[in-house]
Amino acid sequence: MTRSKEVHLITGGGGYPGYTLGKQLIGRNHKVILLDLREPKWPLVEGMTFVKASITNLDELESAFQGVDCVYHMASYGMSGREQLNKKLIEAVNIGGTENVIDACLKNKIRRMVYTSTYNVVFGGQETRDGDETLPYLPLDKHPDHYSRTKSIAEQTVLKTDGRNGLRTCALRLAGVYGPEDQRHIPRIVGYLEQGLLLASAAPDSLQDFLHVENLAQGHLLAGEGLTEARGYVAAGQAYFLSDGCPVNTLQFYQPLIEGLGYNMPKVVISVTMLYFFAFITEWVHFIVARFHNFQPMLTRTEVYKSCVTHYYSVAKARKDLGYNPEKKNDIQEVLEFYKKEGRMKKVRKQSTFMYYLVNIIIAVVFASVVMSFLPGVK
């Protein structure tokens, strides 16, 4: 259906989700501005422009937001890996940057703003089955990482802004995002496979949600429309969970990718407590060596919770209010085909000395945690 041409701006538009949303908006006959510090690696299509700017710079935002009809604030920092441990930058981007985006919207009299949030605003390691938007925010002091804490603060700020000077706002809480050209989670997983680091699994019966990037883009597009007068401002001031709508165990979700690239699924199962302890140790190693070496933690405590504790949420509210209809259902086949084309099939190679010692360190840590569990007074 052809729609009137508007200007839609996406912060974090240089990333894969932002670019994918941009393409869907172009398909709705809108003009699109991708705002980011890095230019997208994919070609700009007709009607799409790129603006290099930082959300931490209010002057740059005020200039870029001129003439914009709707803003999708997708930019954030600290979601995974070593980023999770840089608290100063996390706060500057997620809280300060969001405040700047709101101010730039108000300054330019923009009427619609969709905020990209996360499950983590309500989840902190507690088991949740079929949760919905009536769940309270997790207390700020209960968050296991600074990213989740700052995203919660930012989401609440965005929703409290709804109606101020004509600006309508809503928030979309995303499950783990995936897609063939994901630049964040899947490259790490494939890298671990190639290094021989997928040694064990944990919580094989737990269930988690995932969100295909095309479903993500659909949800954002519909949320932007849900902030219009034509839709009765149905989404104004509201939060929505977005996922593929079919929870699955994390390792089972990645199984077609792992086996499709020629690797074996891990047969050793360890406890979540043991894995959490390992993540705790890697975070401390990062804290010590990060000033000397750009060390990437293999796993953080938050990632243990997200991948090993059952938590999934209903998309019924998004279906009812927005017309959200996720077409992709845990479909990782496209991802597999992408990595096959990239030549990432398993290769027989001699394990490096570094890998030999790293694997032995991991085994030692696991052994130590088992020993500690038997010591008096240690839980």
Please report, for residues 80, 157, 192, 355, the alpha-carbon distance to residue 185 in angstroms, rounded to integers and kept in the order given: 8, 28, 11, 21
**Residue 341: Cβ-neighbour burial (10 angstroms; 0-12, 13-18, 19+):** exposed
- What's the farthest any 2 CA atoms get from each other in the chain? 70
Catalytic residue among 16, 119, 147, 324: 147
The question of whether 147 is a catalytic residue gets the answer yes
**Helix (H) or strand (E) run with residue 17 in it:** helix 16-27
With contact defined as beta carbons under 8 Å apart, do 242 and 263 qualify? no
Bridge partners (DSSP) listed for residue 241: 173
Single-letter code of the amino acid located at 94: N
Please report, for residues 86, 255, 354, the alpha-carbon distance to residue 80 in angstroms, rounded to integers and kept in the order given: 11, 21, 24
For residue 4 the two structure tokens come to 């009137």
**Helix (H) or strand (E) run with residue 51 in it:** strand 48-52
Please report, for residues 169, 224, 225, the alpha-carbon distance to residue 232 in angstroms, rounded to integers and kept in the order given: 13, 12, 10
**Residue 59: Cβ-neighbour burial (10 angstroms; 0-12, 13-18, 19+):** exposed
User: Parallel, antiparallel, or unpaired: how do β-strands 239-242 and 200-202 relate?
Assistant: unpaired
With contact defined as beta carbons under 8 Å apart, do 214 and 179 qualify? yes
With contact defined as beta carbons under 8 Å apart, do 172 and 17 qualify? no
Please report, for residues 33, 159, 224, 240, 302, the alpha-carbon distance to residue 323 in angstroms, rounded to integers and kept in the order given: 25, 21, 12, 12, 32
Active site (catalytic) residues: 147
